[in-house]
Structure formats: C-alpha cells, structure tokens
Amino acid sequence: MPATEVVIVSGAEYAKYEPAAGDTWVLRTFSPSIWIQIARNWAAQEFRTPDTTVTVFDIARGTQETSADGKAWKRVQTLEPPTAAEWWRITDNRPGRRRYERPVSPFTTKDREATHVAYLPGSAIPPNRVALDDSYRPVGGPRLGMQDVYNYICRIGLTRPGTLRGLHLFAHADEDGPILLNTWSPAPHDPGRGLLDIDARAHQDFTTANIPRVSVPDPFRSDADRDSFIATNPRTRSGFNSAWSEDTTAVVWGCLGDHFVKEFVEQVAAQLAQAKAKAAKRPGTKMPADPAITIRANVRGSLGEEDRAFWAAFFGLNPASGIPTTIVKPLSWVKQKLIALNHEAYPGQLGSALGAGTTFPRRRVLAAPLGASTWVKPADRDRGVNALMRVVPREFDTVLGLYQGLGFVYALDLADTTSPFGRGYGQFPPAAATP
C-alpha cells in the first residue's frame, strides 16, 4: 500500500456569550483543550492504516505537527497563538465604516442581540488602544488559519499527488464553514477573502481568487525549482486538485445548526407522519405522490416577525409586499430546497471542489445535515479514541429521520452502530435524486 496522509484541523473553543446570572451575559474566553483532544482521538484511528502520516493543525495553539506512528510528533511550524484579549465587539458594521470596541463584561442581553464578537489577530497590541476601524492591520505577526491548511494541501498536490486520503475539521461550525477562531468576514460572499479572516468560508475558499489557476511546470526541472514555485504560489488549482486520493473522505465534525431550517424540517416531518398515520387507518388508501406541505410562521417564534426578511428570501417572496405567514409547497419543492441549501453550505461546496460523487464516485464529504447541531459530550460507551463528536441524540432525531427519508446516506463507519443514524453525519452532496 502506498504511503498516504491525513490532515486534521483543530479549532478553538471560541469566545462567545454564555448565560450567567439573571439577564446578564459574559464573554467566555476560548479553550483549546476540548478540540485538540478529539482531533488526537481521530488521529489514533487513522494510524491503524499502515504507512499513514497524520498532520495536525492546532489553530488555538498556533502549531502544525506531523507523525508517522502516533508516538513521535514533529513540530513543523509555530505561529503566535491567539489570546483572549484579541476578541472585540463590532459596533458598526457598515463597509468602510466598520468599528470595533473593547468588550465590557458582563454584557446585557440587548448587547448580545445587537452586536457580534470578532477575533482580530494582533489587536491586543498595543494594549492601550480601545477602538479599531477598517484601517486596522495585524500587529504582532500572523496567526495559523484555514489558509495555511489550503497551502499545505496544495503543496501535497505538487510534491506527493494523490496521497491525501482524509481531511477532518474539528471546530464549531455553521453553514458557512468551520469556525476556527471566530474571525469576522465583512463580505463572506465576495470572491476574495479578508486579510484578517482565519475561518473557513463556503463561498470564498474554492474560488479562483483563493485557489488560482496558475500554470504549473510539468515536470519541474528539480526539487529546488518546485520549492521555489511553491514559495511564490502557495495555492494553485492544480496543486489542490492533485492532492486528493481517489477515495478520500473529508469530514466537517462541527454543527450545521440553523434554528430556522430545524423548525422547517420538523414541521414537514410532522405533517408527513400525520398523513402516513391517516392513510394507515384507511385500508387501500395511499399517500399522495407529491403531498402538499403547509409551513406556518410563529409556531415557536423562530419563523416569526423578527425573521421576516429571511422568511421572504427562503420562499422567494417580495418582502415589500404583504407576506403570508402560511406557505403551502409540494414535497418535491421541499426536497429541492433542502438539497440546494445543503449544497450551498461549506460541506457541499467542498464536495463540489473535490468532485465527490460525480467525477470521483468514491470520494465523499460527510457532515451534519443543515439544521442539525453536534456536541462533544460522548456517550458512556464512547471512550478513548471513540470519544468523538456526534449529532445531538434525540434533539435532532426528527431532522435526521427526514433527511434519511430524502435519501441521505449516513456515515455508519464513523459511528457507534448501536445508534440508528450512526453519529448522524450525512454524505454530501445528498444521495437523493433531485426531483
């Protein structure tokens, strides 16, 4: 078996608001330990395959390490680790007028709803600076981030093509991608990435602006010429595409939680269950081939007035006109919508970049389906190397069940198989045929 490599990325338990006493909220500083231990658990799994090198990017500690046996780890690089003082509160988010201020603890609930906490590398230096704006540039050196991971993948493609058989991302996440340090992207849908952005971005990471199409010498005249080319062009489309093995597996272990989508899915699932129960009581009655689904706002508040613009965008309505709070759509539309939403999320975009399931049928990208959250608390039976992340049991069973009904394939090989959905990670892109 030829030598292969697996890349593991461990994010930080980032600064965020957590409820304290009464209606006050405090800023919790990041903790690196929770993610790196889980990442090392998975590294131990990978070393069971002979001739495997594992490289771990520990974003919270600013280190890149590699090992060929899981016992001896070599430090490849060390950058300045983040500090708790480098999280700031965004007080004005208008382009060209963005402004950051030092957080004051504790925050009130109102502050939490009105502002966003952002990580700005180097912002703790000098310490007497109390406000920053769009003119801010990093002070104190770079920080390890997702761009370094892509640089490394592209280097594999130019030096050891076809050997990267795994990419595992352990971090908080949403549909836009793994949140490694909770940096702030002022324009997450622009082709180019922000200078201070360390996190992954679904609609930026795989564009030509971030991984350009550069003419690569083939062959290089020497190893020195190759190293010189890589130093000048750390990310190239050719390098990225060439790195992966035919059967590579990439896993986004963090959440794709979305309260809006979760409630949408639960409403759909409840109506389908009622329709099936009704048909079962009447012998000879069959479910309609494409039943109508009624979605109502304000069931629990998350589809309510505060989400008026999102409600309109979700259903393709004009927010300036009267927006109905009850929408009726056929089940085929629901399937189309969920497939499209998952495709637009980071795992779907990564899958497209890898040609997973299309150009390369044996490649796959696994993640929690959109609307499901994951946790790090293992079950009693999940100890040692099995103490990994999973979709929250019971709370998201309905969400997983509906996706399974739509044809999602679940990653039982990542799982404790005593659970009907494994760890709850679906295969991207969805295996369900588009209606």
Q: Which residues of 312-321 are buried (b: 16+ CB within 10 A; e: fewer)?
A: eebeebeeee
C-beta separation of 287 from 279 below 8 A: yes
C-beta separation of 172 from 200 below 8 A: no
Beta bridge partners of 244: 164
pLDDT of residue 431: 57
Q: Which residues of 151-169 are buried (b: 16+ CB within 10 A; e: fewer)?
A: ebbbbbbbbbeebbbbbbb
pLDDT of residue 68: 94
d(CA 216, CA 219): 8
- Contact residues for 337 (Cβ-Cβ < 8 A; gap 6+): 314, 329
pLDDT of residue 182: 83
Please report where in the chains the tokens 């389908």 appear, as a residue. Answer: 272
Picking from 280, 288, 429, the residue whose alpha carbon sits closest to that of residue 353 is 429
C-beta separation of 431 from 408 below 8 A: yes
pLDDT of residue 4: 95
d(CA 151, CA 230): 9
End-to-end CA distance of the chain: 41
* AA identity, residue 176: D
DSSP-assigned letter for residue 414:
G
What is the phi-psi region of residue 230: left when phi exceeds 0, alpha when psi lies from -120 to 50, beta otherwise? alpha
pLDDT of residue 205: 95
Q: What Rg do the C-alpha atoms of the chain give, in angstroms?
A: 23
pLDDT of residue 85: 76
pLDDT of residue 418: 56
C-beta separation of 194 from 33 below 8 A: no
C-beta separation of 196 from 268 below 8 A: no
| Residue spans of alpha helices (H) in 281-396 | 308-314, 331-344, 346-354
pLDDT of residue 329: 94
* Burial class of residue 111, CB neighbours in 10 A (0-12, 13-18, 19+): middle
CA angle 73, 74, 77 (to 5 degrees): 130
pLDDT of residue 22: 45
C-beta separation of 376 from 262 below 8 A: no
C-beta separation of 265 from 401 below 8 A: no
Helix (H) or strand (E) holding 253: none
d(CA 35, CA 41): 10
Binned average pLDDT, 10 residues per bin, the chain of 435 residues = 88 68 55 82 89 94 93 92 78 75 63 64 69 75 91 97 96 92 74 84 93 93 96 96 96 89 92 88 82 79 59 81 85 92 94 93 93 76 72 87 84 58 80 45
Query: What is the dihedral sign for C-alpha 244, 247, 251, 256?
Result: positive
Secondary structure of 367-416 as H, E, C letters: ECCCCCCEECCCCCCCCHHHCCCEECCCCCHHHHHHHHHCCCCECHHHCC
C-beta separation of 192 from 273 below 8 A: no
Residue 410 exposure: Cα atoms within 13 Å on the Cβ side: 22
Please report where in the chains the tokens 């295996």 appear, as a residue. Answer: 431
Q: Give the full edge-to-edge strand order of the sheet including 116-119.
A: 116-119, 87-92, 99-101, 131-133
* AA identity, residue 79: L
Q: CA dihedral defined by 273, 278, 282, 283, rounded to 10 degrees?
A: 0
pLDDT of residue 410: 76
Query: Does residue 29 sit in helix, strand or coil?
Result: coil
Pairing verdict, β 116-119 and 52-58? unpaired
pLDDT of residue 417: 45
Q: What angle do helix axes 223-232 and 146-159 make, rounded to 10 degrees?
A: 150
- Contact residues for 220 (Cβ-Cβ < 8 A; gap 6+): 226, 229
